[in-house]
Amino acid sequence: MAEGSKSVNLGTLSLEQLTEVIKQLNTELEYLSSSYAQLGRAHVKFLGCLNSIKETVKAENEERDMLVPLTTSLYVPGKLKLGNGKVLIDIGTGYFVEKSAPDAIEYYQRKCEYLQNSVESISGAVEAKSSQIRAVQSVMQQKATDQNTKSAPASA
C-alpha cells in the first residue's frame, strides 16, 4: 500500500511507519485532487468553446456587432462575418488550426468527452486514496488504543 502497487499488512507496521504511510497517502491525495480540479477547469473551458461555436455560427449572427479582444482588458468593435464557415481553434501551446464549424464542434466534443472520462477516472482514484487513508487511520487508532491499554495496567 505504501509503495505503489506493493501490498503491506498494516497490522505489522509500527505507529511511526503508519504515520509515514499516512503522509505519503496525503501527498498522493493532494496531487490527485489538484489534477481533478485542473481537469475540471479544462472541461468547463472546452464546454464554453463548444457552446460558443454552436451559438456563433448560426446564420442569424452574420454581420452581428461584437467586441473583439485585443488583450484581456482591451476590446475593439467589430462585425461577425461567417463567410466561409471556418473558425480558428487553439489546439494548445499557441498553435491554432483553421477548421470548418462542424469539424471544430466535433473536435471540442471529443475533447469534452475525453476530459469527462479523465475527471471520472481521477474521481475514482481520489475516492480509493481517501479509503486507504481511512484504513490506515483506523489501524493507527487501534494500535494507539492497544498501546494505552498495555501501558495502563503497568502503571497501576
Structure confidence at residue 155 (pLDDT): 53
Alpha helices in the chain (DSSP H): 15-56, 101-155
Structure confidence at residue 4 (pLDDT): 54
Q: Which triple of cell numbers denotes residue 100? A: 470548418
Which stretches of the chain score pLDDT less than 50? 1-3
| Residue 92: its H or E element | strand 86-92
Neighbours of 147 (CB within 10 A): 11
CA 48/CA 152 separation, integer angstroms:
63
Structure confidence at residue 77 (pLDDT): 96
Q: What CATH fold (topology level) applies to the domain 37-145?
A: Helix Hairpins (1.10.287)
Structure confidence at residue 30 (pLDDT): 97
| Residue 8: its H or E element | none
Q: List the Cα angle 52/57/62 in 5-degree steps.
A: 120
Structure confidence at residue 2 (pLDDT): 45
Structure confidence at residue 148 (pLDDT): 81
Structure confidence at residue 5 (pLDDT): 58
Cell 473536435 -> residue: 107
Q: What are phi and psi of 78, to 5 degrees?
A: -155, 175
Structure confidence at residue 134 (pLDDT): 95
